Amino acid sequence: MRIAVNAQLLLKNRLEGLGQFTHETLKRLVVNHPEHEFLFIFDRDWSPEFIYAPNVTPIKTLIPSRHPFLWYIRFQFIIPHLIKKHKADLFLSTDGWSTTCKGIKTVTVIHDIDFWHHPQNFPYLTRKYYNYFSPKFARHSTRLATVSEYSKSDLVKTWGLAPENIDVIYNGSLEIFQPLHPSAIAQTLTETTQGVPYFIYIGSLNPRKNIKGMLLAFDRFKQQTQLPHKLMIVGEKMWRDATIDRVFERLLSKKDVLFMGRQSTENLHRLLGSSIALVLVSHLEGFGIPLIEAMNCDVPVICSNTTAMPEVAGKAGHLVNPGQIESIAEGFRRLASEPDYRNQLIDHARIQKTKFSWDQSATKLWGSIEKCMNS
């Protein structure tokens, strides 16, 4: 079988959530199925690290995929042409983009549809493209997959899709995310916060992540308790949202908020593994990979009680209402001042984390491909 693959998010040193899912599942599929040929369709020069085995043939399109108009050309014209030219049996896209051209068997992974529920958080042309084409991609695909039961039910409810045509494929976590030795934790604390314990947020700084609510809740926690804890924010801004800056300037405890920007995987492991808890109080998450990265590091989590987060965190998470500042602040307080409660969450995490691995993800994705071919 010859499988054409949308490889546009396989970017060296720039693997965000969708890119990480693509990288971790594809490298396993390729190695586990040497009897099949994979055509990786890149939109720019590729890095050799993404050519996982001899059964991968890379193809570079003439134009990059960096604008809604160029997305249209890529997925409606260029990719269908390449599929037919190379006589591919199936098209696999793991990042939500796909094609509506007829005569092509397609497996599409849609991680969430935040753009549908919160279009105001996206640039004008981006949201117009997503909201017009994504439902068409979903209905046209031979087989769909998504990363949580929440996202599956959302697709069924919102777009009227058939649940029997949607597979749930959980995300995994990199092997590097393991508990740190106490001496490594002490060293990290000394180097980053002069020994002061800290909470950590990991992810992009866009409106759906509720950075505003997290900052206001942290400020309230600090004023209520007078504890020395800091809040470390790891990630980069998206879509030019200025709300975070305005909120930050009003904080009474802004000296205790550390913006760390993007970090390497090694540094991220060190920072996460040394924290007192991960904070992820988004308005919407299709999954939330940092949750399982934290669980694998024996770090408890404070997360929203909405969308996919309760499903992923299970009993390992302290659930809060993302729309209520006091609820989030109470999460900060309990994790900072109740060590027995923290240890209880960590014990639950050691059980919960076994549900998630990239090996399991790749196996289930291959199952979707087989269902597609046999449909």
pLDDT, one tens digit per residue, over 315-346 is 999 999 999 999 999 999 999 999 999 999 99
Question: Averaged over 151-161, what is the pLDDT?
Answer: 97
For residue 179, pLDDT over 90 is answered with yes
What is the reported pLDDT for 125?
94
What residues have CB less than 8 Å from 240, skipping those under 6 apart?
none
Q: Whole-number mean pLDDT of the chain? A: 95
> Average pLDDT, stretch 67-76?
94
Q: What is the DSSP letter of 154?
A: H
- Rounded CA separation 354/270 (Å): 22
For the stretch 218-260, pLDDT in tens is: 999 999 999 999 999 998 876 546 788 889 999 999 999 999 9
Indicate if 182-355 has the same CATH topology as 2-172+357-374. yes
Domain parsing of the chain, residue ranges: 2-172+357-374, 182-355
Specify the pLDDT at position 238.
Answer: 64
Alpha carbons within 13 A on the beta-carbon side of 357? 8
- Considering only 16-25, 83-92, 364-373, which range has the smallest mean pLDDT? 16-25
pLDDT of residue 66: 85
DSSP for residue 102 = T
Percent of the chain topping pLDDT 70: 99
Q: Is 112 left (phi over 0), alpha (psi -120 to 50) or beta?
A: beta
pLDDT tens string 189-204: 999 999 999 999 999 8
Contact 99, 6 (CB under 8 A): no
Please report, for residues 284, 368, 371, the alpha-carbon distance to residue 375 in angstroms, rounded to integers and kept in the order given: 33, 10, 6
pLDDT at 241: 64
At residue 241, the 3 state secondary structure works out as: coil
| DSSP codes joined into one string, 29-60 | HHHH-TTSEEEEEESSPPPGGG--STTEEEEE
The residue-averaged pLDDT of 68-73 equals 95
For every residue of 188-231, DSSP letters joined together read: HHHHHHTT--EEEEES-B-GGG-HHHHHHHHHHHHHHH----EE
Helix axes 265-273, 182-193, angle to 10 degrees: 100
For residues 234 and 278, give the distance between their C-alpha atoms in angstroms, rounded to a whole number: 11
Q: Alpha-carbon distance 139 to 350, whole Å?
A: 38
Amino acid at 196: V
Confidence at 296, pLDDT banded by 50, 70, 90: very high
> Encoding tokens for residue 75?
């997925």
Percent of the chain scoring above 90 in pLDDT: 90
CB distance 335 to 350 below 8 Å: no
Between helix 339-352 and helix 289-296 the angle, nearest 10°, is: 110
Asked if pLDDT for residue 19 goes beyond 60, the answer is: yes
Q: Residue 28: CB partners within 8 Å, gap ≥ 6? A: 358, 359, 362
Residue 102 pLDDT more than 80?
yes
14: confidence class by pLDDT, cuts 50, 70, 90 = confident
The domain made up of 2-172+357-374 has a fold known as Rossmann fold (3.40.50)
- CA atoms of 371 and 203, how far apart (whole Å): 33
Class assignment of domain 182-355? alpha beta
- The answer to whether 90 touches 107, Cβ cutoff 8 Å, is yes
Contact status, residue 199 vs residue 333, Cβ threshold 8 Å: no
SS3 168: strand
Residue 239: what pLDDT? 53
0.85 exceeded by the pTM? Answer: yes
